Amino acid sequence: MKNSSLMKLMPVLNGALLRGKEDFIVDHVYHKKQDKFTNNTLVFYRKNMKIPLNLKSCVIVTSNKKAIDQFPTTYTIVYVKKVWLAYRRFITYYRQQFNLPVIGVTGTCGKTTTKEMIAHILSFKMNIVKTVLSQNGLSNNIKYLLQINDRTDAAVIEMGVSSTGHIRQTARYFKPTIGIITTIGTDHLQGFTDHDAYLKEKESMLLAVNKKGTIILNADDENTKKLNKRKFKGTFIYIGEAEHSDFQFVNVRYHENGMRFVLRYRGQVYFGFVPGFGKHNVYNAIFAIAAANLLGISINTSIKRLETFQPVKRHLQLHTGINGSTIIDDTWNTNPTSIQAAIEVLAELSKGKKSIAILGDIEELGQYSIIEHQKVGEIVWKHKIDYLMTIGDQANEITVKAKELGMNSSNIFPIVSDAQLVKLLKQLATKNTIILVKTSMRKSYRDLMLKIKGQK
């Protein structure tokens, strides 16, 4: 965080000094329990918030004038009418101090990997602030914004959504200059009235990005084509396989430990490789290349940097499992779009081998739960997966659809316990078996993964 004197912040907070001196220097902010306290902390105090009383000094921003009696005399006390409003004003003020490119990444799938790829490309010559893994909620993102300082060259922010207004709310603070929408599939529908409302929320990225900025879109995604492009007055860049793509990739093929592809841009041809399996990873890579290009990084440099990219943990990671089988660990998160991508990888890697799909509940689908789980059953059947195992009551709809379409019922297993699953895998798995484990981070399957790997 960039240091600031309380004197400069007082007009921003619209507060009154009850005790202390305005020459106090702030270098840290506390708003939620995950934050840390230091001697120069600015605390936006709320009821029942536990504040240590052994600091040499700090600033307490409060809407309770009696709070002056709760803290040591070395603590500076600032009174405001509404703490949350003072906090919002402070965050807005802090962002306005920096003129730097901010890349906002949203989409049903690929957000985290695309964000990590962009940061990896840029970090060889820039100081980058980025979100951690998939911790992309607004309350988490604010702490990343406060990491920006005078040494920061660019920020890459993952913009997740679970209900209407989330993208605009995040953008109000971060003011992205570049926006990316990776895909628009089906996820978090429980927080929306219907899928159209979910699509509209993603469309709000067109209003979130600076009017002189750039938005990068997936030219091949059907729902992305439905966006009302007239809402954005800046520049659009398209990536994909479609002929009209600005960054067009062709000749995608599986290779050892990753994907090879050919990229065409402005009459030039580039040959690339990205660690991690699946065509979706090529989309992620091209998004990253396009974003880096806007910040002055050559395509050749980006391609070279991507060769050393480390795939995100629990995103289609390969491990050795029971009886020497190969495990595809995709247990970070799950939604219909990512399941399709994972099963495509399973089908490709298991050619000539036995394939097993272990699929858990897809959460936050609301009224669409049954139909979306049944669509997954269609995907399993379409890709001719040999064995299907499901975990959870909702995931049982996957088995219902797979049976209905003609998948051998003796190869379908609704799982009721870890012991049952491990026993089945010990019976079925060999060195020539590829096992996809696709579940949600919202439920802990770490012990289960250890058992499937034969480590517990």
Q: What percent of the chain has pLDDT over 70?
A: 93
pLDDT at 137 (0 to 100) = 64
The predicted model scores a pTM of 0.90
- Domain 98-306 coded CATH 3.30.2350.10: no
Q: And the tokens for 147?
A: 């990491």
CA atoms of 270 and 263, how far apart (whole Å): 5
**Token pair 């910040």 in the structure block, residue:** 295
Q: Are 214 and 178 in contact (CB under 8 A)?
A: yes
Residue 48: partners with Cβ closer than 8 Å, 6 or more residues away: none
Average pLDDT over residues 315-327: 92
- The confidence band for 16, taking pLDDT boundaries of 50, 70 and 90, is very high
pLDDT score recorded for residue 446: 61
How far apart CA 292 and CA 209 sit, in angstroms, is 17
E strand map for 55-168:
59-62, 76-79, 102-106, 128-130, 154-158
| Orientation angle between helical segments 166-174 and 138-145, nearest 10 degrees | 10
- The neighbour count for residue 436, using CB atoms within 10 Å, is 26
Tell me what pLDDT residue 331 has: 87
Q: What is the mean pLDDT of residues 54-79?
A: 90
Least confident of 157-171, 324-338, 364-378: 157-171
Q: Are 115 and 158 in contact (CB under 8 A)?
A: yes
Tell the CATH superfamily of the 317-452 domain: Mur ligase, C-terminal domain (3.90.190.20)
Cα gap 396→360, rounded to integer Å:
9
d(CA 271, CA 265): 11
Query: At the topology level of CATH, where does 4-92 sit?
Result: 3.40.1390
For the cut 70, the answer to whether the pLDDT of residue 338 exceeds it is yes
> Which residue shows structure tokens 């020539």?
432
Name the band, by pLDDT with cuts 50, 70 and 90, for residue 249.
Answer: very high
- Mean pLDDT in residue range 149-168: 86
Report the alpha-carbon distance of residue 430 to residue 422 in Å, rounded.
13
| Banded model confidence at residue 66, pLDDT cuts 50, 70, 90 | confident
Domain residue extents for the chain: 4-92, 98-306, 317-452
Whether the per-residue pLDDT at 28 is higher than 90: the answer is no
**Averaged confidence pLDDT in the chain:** 89
DSSP state of 311: P
Q: What local confidence, expressed as pLDDT, does residue 452 receive?
A: 81
pLDDT at 157: 92
pLDDT tens column, 437-448:
998 755 655 677
* Structure-block tokens of residue 259: 């994907």
Residues of the chain above pLDDT 90, percent: 63
Rounded-to-integer distance, Cα 163 and Cα 205, Å: 14
pLDDT of residue 14: 95
